[in-house]
Amino acid sequence: MTAIEEDEEEALMALYEHRFKEVQHLRDRLDYYESQLNEAEKKLDETQRQLSRVRSRGSAKSSIENLVRVKKETTPSPLKLTKKCNVNLSDSQPEEDCKIINTQQKPTLHIPFVTLKRPSPFDVSSSEDSTEIRSQSCFSVPRFKKKPKLVKAAESQPNLVATQKRPPCVEMEESCDEPSKFGSRPLMLNKPEKAAESQARGTKKKSGKSKDRDLIEVVNSCSSPIKINCETSSYIPSQHKRKLRTLVLCPTNDELFVTSALDGIVNLWKIQGKGSHVIHQSSINAASLKQRRWPEDVAWHPNGSSMIFVYSADGGDSQIAVMDMNKGQKVTFLEHKPHVKGTINNVMFMPWDRNSFITGGNDHAVVHWSEKPGENCWKPNVLHKTNHTSAVMGVAGIKHTKTVISVGADRKIIGFDLETERTDIKHQIDSKCMSVLPNPRDSNLFMIQTGTPERQLRLYDMRLKGDEIHGFGWKQESSASQSSLINQAWSSDGLYLTSGSADPMIHIFDIRLNANQPSQSIKAHQKRVFKAAWHQSLPLLISISSDLNIGLHKII
């Protein structure tokens, strides 16, 4: 990089930090007005109830008293009348005689029920959800987003104005602070202050609970794709001798991620230069003790202090290993062996309890592991082993219901309630299932990967008990079959989904698009792409491929 390019990069970074602080300042102000709006809505609801009681009694006197009290509680408008406006203004009189509408004129009483739409003013990374508050209100409450225009007195009468409802995709795009225009917007998992701090100094970020938002209203709502500008910046040799298997980003330090491969080695990587390149930190030999097998799947502990490796249950080999990041990356194999045969295909920590994880394997079993007092002490509990009639390929947790979702090659979707210890969801689809991935922002949504060509991905809602709400996929040129090694990843705003492919392509899907094809596809690598993960805070996609390279793709 030349000196001119370095100076340009520093200038852009300074401009980015300035604009970031400006956006955050505006968000803080919007936070204040949001609380004020909530208080006003509570008063409106109380007034509505009182008005209903007054109408039921038919008391005109009480109605007048309530209206007087409403007038007293009304917050004065910040707009002040500067000049009196002559109502009998003639056409020849200049417009300057009436500068600003008198907002303190008595508003017209509006009795019919209305729906108040309250779009969220926040960005997707740190905002409350954009919610629609349906209120059987008796008053029409104006919401000004801009200053009143200069109008004549004849136009200043407080008549009711019909508001045109915007399409859901437009509302979501605005509430997301234009994620389609700025690629870094949908990638901000952590709060803005922490994201800026992480990008500036590379410090560790604290894991926090992001507030859920209801995305069901925007699914399948847009006719045209909202694309992301993405370009490949570099490819880095993975330093693995055999094909890569997993890619996992650290949940607490946005500079770290790991890769594993069929050689039994787990490599630790550190991101530098704001995502321009990565450096190799260390290599960990994670092969099993007896058969020297590689980890089939890897899960990073939510506190970032350790990682869980899963193997195979054949030959009495070790099934679970724990690598402690704070003790020289020491790998410890657990003595418990609840799975009876075959490969353990998936491991996933539970979103409601950072001290428990779930495994699913070829023996049809789903096992819940809980951490007990002591060093690397995890106790297994078999949740079920007869609900599936074939290999369990994917497991995940739905946090608000404490339900464990498992999918299998038997084409079944099973939901097991941990609190009641019973199965409350049983659904069978038309194709084998190979993985399940919960949406990071809407805890009711989850994605299933299937083996159906051109319909590999199916979106489901927990509340619909198995009904598919959207489906999409891609056409593979190199192979007609779908590999279970191909994985997906959600963007942090829950609107975009990336998938690898048997072709050297990264497919990006937008759940808002009412079509079953990718919103865009990116040419990447020389061979099949296994996974492309969204970085938590940087505008960056990280991919792994069977060409033994790690790809860095900047979102600009």
pLDDT tens digits, one per residue of 251-281:
999 999 999 999 999 999 999 988 889 999 9
Contact 118, 133 (CB under 8 A): yes
Please tell me the least confidently modeled range out of 144-158, 236-250, 252-266, 455-469: 144-158
What is the average per-residue pLDDT within 121-148? 38
Whole-prediction pTM value? 0.66
Are the C-beta atoms of 263 and 548 separated by less than 8 Å?
A: no
b/e map of 22-59 (b: 16 or more CB within 10 Å)?
eebeebeeeeeebeebeeebeebeebbebbeebeeeee
Confidence grade of residue 62 (pLDDT, cut at 50, 70, 90): low
Strands across the sheet with 445-450, in order?
433-438, 445-450, 457-461, 468-472
Predicted local confidence at residue 71, as pLDDT: 52
Distance CA 31, CA 448 (A): 36
Per-residue pLDDT tens over the stretch 106-122: 444 444 444 444 343 33
How far is residue 269's CA from residue 55's CA, in Å, rounded to a whole number?
Answer: 69
The secondary structure of residue 427, as a DSSP letter, is E
Q: Where does 216-555 sit in CATH, by number?
A: 2.130.10.10
> How many helical (H) and strand (E) elements, i.e. helices and strands, does the chain have?
4, 30
pLDDT, tens digit (0-9, with 9 covering 90-100), for 337-394 = 999 999 999 999 999 998 999 999 999 999 999 998 877 789 999 999 999 999 999 9
Per-residue pLDDT of 166-221, as tens digits, reads 444 544 444 444 443 333 344 433 333 443 344 334 445 544 455 678 899 999 99
Where do the structural domains in the chain lie, given as residue ranges? 216-555
Place of tokens 């500079």: 255
Q: Which pLDDT does position 479 carry in this prediction?
A: 72
